[in-house]
Amino acid sequence: MKIGNVDLGERPVLLAPMEDVTDTSFRLLCKEFGADMVYTEFVSADALVRSIEATQRKLHIVDAERPVAIQIYGRFPESMVEAARLCEEAHPDVIDINFGCPVKKVAGKGAGAGMLRDVPKMLAITRAVVDAVKVPVTVKTRLGWDHDSKIIVELAEQLQDCGIAALTIHGRTRSQMYTGEADWTLIGEVKNNPRMRIPIIGNGDITTAERAAECFDRYGVDGVMVGRAAIGAPWIFRDIKGYVRDGVCPAPLTVHERMEVIRRQLRESVARLDERRGITHIRRHLAATPLFKGIPSFRDTRIEMLRAETVPDLLAVLERIEHTFLASEE
């Protein structure tokens, strides 16, 4: 699969852009575990144009994570064009436009998935951004605004006509947010539309290696994108790539190896931010990781882990958890 001149190989697996999750450290981890392309956290065009420091920091990318896409969102063609040009100066491999974020503070103001209620404006922004930069431009969107307006089959053709190099489709409407099951039938319909010439990437509920392989086989998508299932478990890319390639998952990481991944995330988060903000950032990964599922009577330990305020305290809790695992295996 190619996005412009960016060759991602056969059946690539991509890390979805996620706010407060896909920072440089996490992207590098996912890349090391086999992600074929990674995305930054989404970047507000308006904030970038206003030179907001926290937003500018999101443009930081390193060569080891390539190919990498910077994702932008906004509701005005002028600011989106200026933001795309500023992003291009950071030398990403791809610029992605977010027309899929469902949260109220974004979609409710007409950006993200809010654009699904104003398709002419969505297309105008897409054409303007494609024309403004030299790097490939892609789009990520949803099936439609709600159950009664699933417009993705027609919309995909319109976006293709704007000159985008690939399209990622999340198999939910905006109204669904992240609830219910992702509907891949319409993603498959877009992919199998003979008028579509660009790669189609499917997104939504890719939580296991088996499901990823099924989506490739059943719906014919060119790539799959993994989002929430990677939080606290970046090794999912290793599992998916192995299963898609060989038909079996590779031998699982040991408990110690997985705990080392968690500890590395903690150290790098604190180094990038500071102790307080770094621990706050890593809590989302700790809360989401499947690593602790199945530990009996874990509730009190979980609370202690998520309330720890210093690195030594949090490392001590993680050490006890690892010892619990090892004791249970003896």
Q: Which of 208, 231, 306 is nearest to 22 (CA)?
A: 231
Cβ contact 69:37 at 8 Å: yes
Q: Report d(CA 76, CA 110) in Å as an integer.
A: 9
Q: Is 7 exposed, middle or buried (0-12, 13-18, 19+ CB in 10 A)?
A: exposed
Helix (H, G, I), strand (E, B) or coil at 98: strand
Q: Is 299 exposed, middle or buried (0-12, 13-18, 19+ CB in 10 A)?
A: exposed
Q: Is 296 exposed, middle or buried (0-12, 13-18, 19+ CB in 10 A)?
A: exposed
> Catalytic pick from 101, 162, 215, 249?
101
Chain centroid to CA 323: 32
Cβ contact 139:169 at 8 Å: no
Has 249 been annotated as catalytic?
no
Q: Report d(CA 263, CA 94) in Å as an integer.
A: 31
Q: Which of 268, 283, 275, 277 is nearest to 312 (CA)?
A: 275
Where in the sequence numbering do the catalytic residues fall?
Answer: 101
